[in-house]
Every structure is written in C-alpha cells, then in structure tokens.
Amino acid sequence: MKQKIEQISTPKLLTYFLVGIISVLLILSLYYGSSFAPGLRKSDEAASRRYGSDPVFGGSSRYGYRADLIKDESRLPEFPKTIPICDLKYSELIPCLDRSLNYQLKLKMNLSLMEHYERHCPPPERRYNCLIPPPVGYKIPIRWPASRDEVWKANIPHTHLAKEKQDQHWMVVDGEKKCGG
C-alpha cells in the first residue's frame, strides 16, 4: 500500500515543481521585458536615458558615435566631402548588369540556366568610384501619385517598347509627357 502512495505523490511533486519553475520564469520575463514584444526592454530604456540613443539604429548606445561629445577631432571617422561624377558616357551604366564586362572578363556562364541574365558585379579593382550622371535632358520626376499615370518624355531614353506597343496604348505621348495606359 505504501508503494502506491509513493508512486502517486512523485508525479504530483514533479508537476508542482515544473509549474513553479515556469511561473518564476514567466514573472521574470514580464519584469525584465518580453523577448516576443517589440520595443525597448526596461534595461534598454534605462541605458538610453543614461547614454543617449543611437541616431542610426535607434537603440541605446553606450559606446555609440556622437560627434558633439567627442572633443578630439582626430578620432572622428573620415568621410569624403564629395564624390566625383563619372563621365557622361557612363550615364546608362548599370554596374552589376554590364554584359560587355562579362565578355571582357571571359566569364564562362551556363546559357541553359540563363546565367548570362543574372547580375555579376565587377571585381573591386574594376568598380567605378563615382556617381553615375543622369541622361541628357533628365528632369526631376513627377511626384506621386501623379507619376503613376504620367512621366517626363525626357526621362525615358529608350522608347522602343512604347513604339512596339503603340497599338495597345501602353504609353501615349502627350507633349513633353508620356501617359501610361
């Protein structure tokens, strides 16, 4: 008879123990902040009040970069003041979609897998370190939502698709603008 009582009380004791551990963990997670909820935890809020918040990532930054707090300007990271503009012949350059570069580098691509249509960025020594200029006659785009229906004709350097689909009224030329259909 005693063995049955001991066997019954052991699972109950184990159940109470597990429920107690889970309850303690639940209370601790509610106190310190939940890992499932978005936003700052209590410890992050206190740190952001002490150290300030990181303007880039939004979190607290104990060792974050703040130019107004650094007195020694030699420790500031150096950023280029200006970036040079590329030559006008590069106005239609798309660096990772340059098929002529793929031929120059003699990349062996599997045509059956259509690898020649994939992006192949140039190696670091062949990359351009300049801003690609806009095409000649480029205008500042029309603001949304009007740009959904019309664009500047000067901003479309290649109009052969519009000419091919002219009978379907995909694009209609209306003075300096092209209207979408």
Is residue 62 domain-shared with residue 97, that is, in the same domain? no
Q: Name the pTM for this structure.
A: 0.38
Average pLDDT, integer, range 124-141: 82
Is the pLDDT assigned to residue 60 strictly greater than 60? no
Is residue 65 domain-shared with residue 36, that is, in the same domain? yes
For the chain, how long is the longest CA-to-CA vector? 101
Is residue 9 domain-shared with residue 55, that is, in the same domain? yes
Q: The domain containing residue 150 runs over which residues?
A: 146-180
Asked whether residue 83 is assigned to any structural domain, the reply reads: no
DSSP per-residue codes, 93-127 = --GGG-HHHHHHTT----GGGTGGGS--PPPGGG-
Is residue 7 domain-shared with residue 69, that is, in the same domain? yes
* The pLDDT value given to residue 175: 66
pLDDT tens digit sequence for 1-49:
555 555 556 788 889 999 999 999 989 888 777 555 555 455 555 555 5
Is residue 94 domain-shared with residue 156, that is, in the same domain? no
Is residue 19 domain-shared with residue 67, that is, in the same domain? yes
At residue 160, the 3 state secondary structure works out as helix
DSSP category for residue 172: E
Asked whether residue 141 is assigned to any structural domain, the reply reads: no
Asked whether residue 153 is assigned to any structural domain, the reply reads: yes
Sole residue written with tokens 């006659």: 137
Distance in angstroms (rounded) separating the CA atoms of residues 115 and 117: 5
Distance in angstroms (rounded) separating the CA atoms of residues 22 and 15: 11
Is residue 59 domain-shared with residue 116, that is, in the same domain? no
pLDDT tens digit sequence for 104-116:
766 666 667 777 6
Asked whether residue 172 is assigned to any structural domain, the reply reads: yes
Q: What is the total count of domains within the chain? A: 3
Is residue 59 domain-shared with residue 12, that is, in the same domain? yes
